[in-house]
Amino acid sequence: MVDTIEHDLLIVGSGLAGLRAAIQAAKTSSNIKIAVISKLQVMRSHSVSAEGGTAAVLFPEEGDSIESHVYDTVKGSDFLGDQDVIEKLVNEMPSEIYQLEHWGMPWSRREDGRIGQRNFGGYSYPRATFAQDKVGFYEMQTLYDTCQKFDNIEFYNEWFTTSIIHDGQKFCGITAIKLSSGTFYTIKGKALIIATGGAGRLYSYSTYSLSSTPEGLDMAYRAGMALKDMEFVQFHPTGILPSGILITEGARGEGGYLLNKDGDRFMKKYAPSKLELASRDVVSRAMMTEINEGRGFKHETGVDCLKLDLRHLGNELIIKKLPAIREISLKFSGIDPAKEPIDVRPVSHYMMGGIHTNIDGATEIQGIWAAGEAACNSVHGANRLGANSTAECLVWGKITGDLAAKYVLEAKSPQFPLHLVSAEEKRIYDGIFRGSGSVNPYEVRQDLTDMMNEKAYVFRNENDLIDGLKKLRELKQKTWKHVDDKAKEYNTNFSNVMELDSMFRVAEVILVGAIARKESRGAHARTDYPDRDDKNFLHHTLVYYDTKEPIIKKHPVTITKYKPVERKY
């Protein structure tokens, strides 16, 4: 008999979106039992790594405007963003900044005492609201602290969720393993919010924490929900070498330069009006072009890179506004950014795609919502602007928390399909834990992430993508589904192999979507189809799970005001 727990609302994931959803649900009704389930301790969620800012229009009287933020985001998305969703983000954000302030968020300040904002790529006004360069950490601390005020929020730290249980129409519950004991549980609920973040660890050179693997996306995919626009992976221009840890866009927002080996500020060639603060896809492509044409540096590890120069900003400004960057640079490269430039190159940073939702974060199954990076409500289209992701987490955390709580108050629990729990138990215990095989799953994982780095990076082409898909399917066939460590408590070997199982399915979705999209748009740059093709590809990609081959469908883009035009910075 499987152990069972019951709550009204289940929130899987404890980053910004998950915590914001929990607070909103608890505020909506004090009578509902809310469970926040995380495979980590809450404050280890990857949201703490967000550095640069959270975008919002705070000072319209000084020249910023809602309309400007909307248009910058539409243009940033390369016209694939749903414009009604973008309008919702921009209109809701200012109140979220002030709400965080009231909950104790230590925003950085201007000289006049008002909340500080800095320049960020792709914006026509400095609207990235910041707290030094540790924005995510402070936001998480503020939200976690606020969660403690509600008696009806219960945290399940270090629980590994493995599947979503539904009856074909309605949500019924999830299955999860309590990592401290190794016990397999069913957690029943009336509603679910998936807030499990992105899947950036599909790439070996990545800004993501090691826990950012795609189980949340995979659970939704296996449960019959579509993954949308997964071919659009954002490569942040400045990952430090050799680790890939993020050097915030705030470093360029404060005035940092990108230099090639000739000492040239090369961005003037690619984006004369915005320079280093063009959108991320534009800057990343410019950097890879410089490297490919022989104007890069060789890092001591043999990797090609460019330099980010902050020396002219001065030690005082760096210590005041970019203290974490200074620390990261000293610790991970042995470089003091006030004295010498930092070695950087584009690094996997964000998934524009995710679980297909509508404008309110509702998925295709009744009683299930998705929020934050795990969701794709199409707010970012083909390329996200920096500082819009923490904003998205807050806005749709609030929206989904409110809607899910109201749904729970009315919902009746459907008949629970116990056979699905047995099938899931069999899949993970017979299929993985007790599996037999001689191939090392960690080597397979490294091969998979290296392949993604090589075949689906900043520039892509048909041959590489097809070759990558072939290699992925060959790797998948190997006998890696086995767990050598048979311990029950904290069996990281078991959870690592389950993560790899999810990584294969989601990586396949990225590759089939990228092969099907025969154009260049936003972060998806095809050297064999260098132009954007609105006639044939101004649509979202939906991918559904099938045991044989993923099924691809199209979904329309919502255009309200802004017709697609050529995108220049």
Cβ distance 352 to 232 under 8 Å? yes
Which residues are known catalytic residues? 236, 252
Give the neighbor-by-neighbor strand order of the sheet with 227-228. Answer: 375-376, 354-356, 227-228, 539-544, 551-556
> Which residue in 480, 502, 499, 505 sits closest to 179, CA to CA?
499
Q: What is the number of H-type helices and E-type strands within the chain?
A: 16, 24
pLDDT of residue 250: 84
Identify the DSSP state of 246: B
* Cα-based distances in Å from 19 to 44, 147, 390, 398, 448: 13, 7, 12, 9, 32
| Residue 23 three-state SS | helix
* pLDDT score, position 413: 84
User: Which two structure tokens, joined as six digits, stand for 81?
Assistant: 């963003």
Measure the CA–CA gap between 440 and 242, rounded to whole angstroms: 25
Q: Quick one: which of 271, 280, 221 has its CA closest to 247?
A: 280
Quote the CA–CA distance of 433 and 175 in Å, as a whole number: 16
Per-residue pLDDT at 557: 98
| Predicted pLDDT at 321 | 87
Instruction: Measure the CA–CA gap between 404 and 399, rounded to whole angstroms.
Output: 9
CA–CA separation, 267 and 276 (whole Å): 6
Omega of the bond leading into 106 within 30 degrees of 0 (cis):
no
In terms of Cα–Cα distance, which of 324, 288, 301 is closest to 242?
Answer: 301
Of residues 94, 232, 138, the one with CA closest to residue 520: 232
pLDDT in the model for residue 495: 96
Token pair of 347 as six digits? 């690094």
CB of 518 within 8 A of CB of 529? yes
| Segment holding 333, helix H or strand E | helix 323-333
Per-residue pLDDT of the chain (569 residues; tens, 9 = 90+): 789 999 999 999 999 999 999 999 999 999 999 999 999 999 999 998 888 899 999 999 999 999 999 999 999 999 999 999 999 999 999 999 999 999 999 999 999 999 999 999 899 999 999 999 899 999 999 999 999 999 999 999 999 999 999 999 999 999 999 999 999 999 999 999 999 999 999 999 999 999 999 999 999 999 999 999 999 999 999 999 988 989 988 899 889 999 999 999 999 999 999 999 999 999 999 999 999 999 999 999 999 999 999 999 999 999 988 998 899 999 988 999 999 999 999 999 999 999 999 999 999 999 999 999 999 999 999 999 999 999 999 999 999 999 999 999 999 888 899 999 999 999 999 999 999 999 999 999 999 999 999 999 999 999 999 999 999 999 999 999 999 999 999 999 999 999 999 999 999 999 999 999 999 999 999 999 999 999 999 999 999 999 999 999 999 999 999 999 999 89
Sign, CA dihedral 463-466-470-475, equals positive
Per the CB < 8 A criterion, the answer to whether 35 and 156 are in contact is yes
**270: closest CA among 279, 75, 261, 252?**
279
pLDDT at 133: 86
Residues in the chain: 569
How would you classify residue 500: left for phi > 0, otherwise alpha for psi between -120 and 50, otherwise beta?
alpha
- Domains within the chain, CATH numbers bracketed: 3-232+352-410 (3.50.50.60), 237-346 (3.90.700.10), 418-533 (1.20.58.100)
Helix (H, G, I), strand (E, B) or coil at 245: coil
The Cα–Cα gap between 261 and 134 comes to 31
pTM: 0.96
